[in-house]
Structures are given as structure tokens and as C-alpha cells.
Amino acid sequence: MTDGWNARSAPPPAAGQPSPWWSDALADPWRDPYAPAHVVVPTARESTGPAPEPVTDPDAPRRSLTPVLLICLVTALLAGGLGGTLGFVFAVRGGLANGTGSQLGAAGQEAPAEVNRAPESNAGIVKKVLPSVVTVRVTGAIGSGFIVSDDGYVITNDHVVEGADDKTMSVSFSDGSTASAKLVGRDPESDIAVIKVAKSNVTPVSLGDSDAIAVGDPVFAFGSPLALVNTVTSGIVSALDRTIQAGDPGGTTRYYAAIQTDAAVNQGNSGGPLVNAAGQVVGVNSVIRSVSGTETEAGNIGLAFAIPINQAKRIAGDIIDHGKARRTVIGAEVTTGTNTGGGAKLRSVDPAGPAGTAGLKAGDVVTKLDNHPLEDGTDLIALVRKYAPGAVVPVEYRRGTKTQSASVTLAADSN
């Protein structure tokens, strides 16, 4: 069989030889086996199915992908580094990162309004007063004080500087700086002392009027309680003219009509300022009431007492100007310790003194001083010392069964 490209004629059969084909070969198109043969291959139908998968020649040489992978890796690293750097720069400029670590919290928020605190806010008051508050250091003890003049005078408690000398006393300021200090003078009975610091460019406090405060007014106590310097606590005025008799057995007895507050005050606060909501000093923190039986275990229970600034200012001025303080007296001796609630009984009266001049006599019981009820002699002593010498105060007293009144002009002690 052939496809006809080299077809040629076959020789005819020899005479007398039978045909190589069968009997009906004459009707068969292939009747002449020697005739040229042609095979026609029909065209294959066009397939409508999926194309066959290409077959890869296993012997064909393969192209390496290593250069392509390296190029992709280098490109990815460069793009990531550039993107991270740009993102970090924009985050820092936008305030979303501080450049030290992960950013926590919500982003894109503006600073709260409290950052710009108003001068009359609590933080504004503290910022104003704190530079004028000092920590007073005496050998073996620590207390507080506050600057009252440009030239470095400081008011503190007498019991803070008791036993101190110029070599053992120093002060530290809210900015951490320190300076030496010397004792100017002291008045043990009022528990007020004045020292002077060896430092220039100091900032004095603003002094208020302790007679103008009322129960319920907000106050702040500054100082170094338990040696924790630059401490501020807050509370309210709990009571006024709370008469205090304080002092160690065998030592000086101190009397004053105090401002009572529930602001937290502890050992080390002594001598520090009690400040009103206007940033003005209205008292000198001095003592606390405690449920403990020993001084070393005493702690705040919400009962603290401050010397009114009007009284402290007057005594400090006397110490600075005259070297000692004038003590206000009524010119009479009283019975103390009875606490009968019936008033202050006069044990003796100086006829030439304020009480005698006003008509009071021994045996009289003073029940009110300037409309303030008295329970015993301690109340009378403490309230009298609140006033300046020369002040005229109304007095109500009982003589026998009769109640009488008088105006007494208080005087300064001659000692």
C-alpha cells in the first residue's frame, strides 16, 4: 500500500494465469492489484473539547529560577524598609509615637484641656504656692515652713526649731535646692518661730485673712509629712476658734484658737501653710489629734489644727522687728482644767489691767468673749491671744446670779 506519491503501473498477468483477485473482482474498485493505489485520509473533525495539556519534554534543558527569586526578595526588602521608615517618621511627626517603643492607646487624640490648667484650679493653686514652701531640717528632726518676704524670712512652728542652732539647721526647696538657715527668734507659748534662709530671689507666699474664712471653705495643707517632701493634701475648714492647749509635760504650754481642718496632716507638716482656694495662706499647720497614746505612733485621723495667719503674722512681725513677740492678755488669772461648761472663772484680777478697768472682779465667770461661748479658763486664754494688743472685745460674764456685759481693751504683756 502506498499513499500514491510514487505510483507506477503493475505488469499485466501472464497468459493462462488466474487473476489474483476473487471471481467478482471485476466489480471491485481494487480489481487491478497492479493499478496505482491512492489512500485518502479524511480530515479530522474540529474538536470542541478542552485543549490537551502540553507535554513537556523531560529531556529539554530547564531555566533556573534563582535569579528571579533573588530579585523579588531584594525588592520586597527595600520596599518594606522604605515603607516602615516613612510610616515611623509620619507617626512621630503626628504625635503617634515617641520613638522609644510600641504605641499604646488611642491615636490621633488632642491633649485634654486640663493640660492648660487655670490658675484658680487646684493644680494652679499648688503650682503658685509650692515654690514658697520649704522643708526645715534640724538634727534628728524635720518640719516645714513658708517664705513670707523677699529677703528670705520664713515662718514655722517653734517646736520645729526647738534646740536648733545655725550649724544644725538647713532648708530645702521644692526644686531640690538647699540653703543654710539661721534662727531669728521664737515664741514658745504661741508656737511660732522665724528663721531666715541664705538664698536670694526667693518667692514669698500671699497672706490671706484668717478672720474671713468660714466653716466649709476648701483648704490645702502643704509640707513634708513623714519626710515626704513637697506633699499637698486637701480638705475643708471643719471648725473655727477651736481652742488648743498643747505642750509636753514639764515644758511650755501653748494656747491658741485654731482653725480645724480635715486635710491630711502628719508629723513633718508642722510649720507648713494652710492655704485657701485663692492660694493665700490662712493658717500655720501645728498639731493633730490622734487616737494613739504615743507621739511616734500618731497619725492623721482627719483632725488637724492650724494657728490663724493673722495671729502668726503679728507674732512673726514682732519677732523680726523687736526680737520677741508681744503676748495679748486680759489682766486676770483663770481657773483651768475644770471644763464644767459654765465659763471661765476668774481666780484673780489686776485692778489696773484690762479686765479690772472694765469692772470685772475675782470670782466672776466669763461666759462669752466676742460672742464666742467659753467652757473653761483654757478657752479664755486661747481666744484672748488671738487678738492684737489694743483690740476692744465685748465680754459677757456672770456675777452671782446676774449676767452682765462689758467692753474690754486687751493689752500686751509687760514681760
Residues marked active site are found at 159, 191, 270
DSSP 9: P
Bridge partners of residue 280, in order along the sequence: 206
Are 188 and 254 spatial neighbours (Cβ–Cβ below 8 Å)? yes
The three-class DSSP label of residue 212 is helix
Bridge partners of residue 187, in order along the sequence: 192
How far separated are the first and last CA of the chain, in Å rounded? 159
In whole angstroms, what is the distance from residue 235 CA to residue 262 CA?
Answer: 5
| Pairing between β-strand 344-349 and β-strand 332-334 as defined by DSSP bridges | antiparallel
Are 154 and 181 spatial neighbours (Cβ–Cβ below 8 Å)? yes
Q: What is the DSSP string of 282-321?
A: EEEEEEE--S-SSGGG---SS-EEEEEHHHHHHHHHHHHH
Strands (E), 188-230: 192-197, 206-207, 218-223
In whole angstroms, what is the distance from residue 12 CA to residue 20 CA?
Answer: 11
Question: How many beta carbons lie within 10 A of that of residue 89, not counting itself?
Answer: 11
In whole angstroms, what is the distance from residue 377 CA to residue 344 CA?
Answer: 4
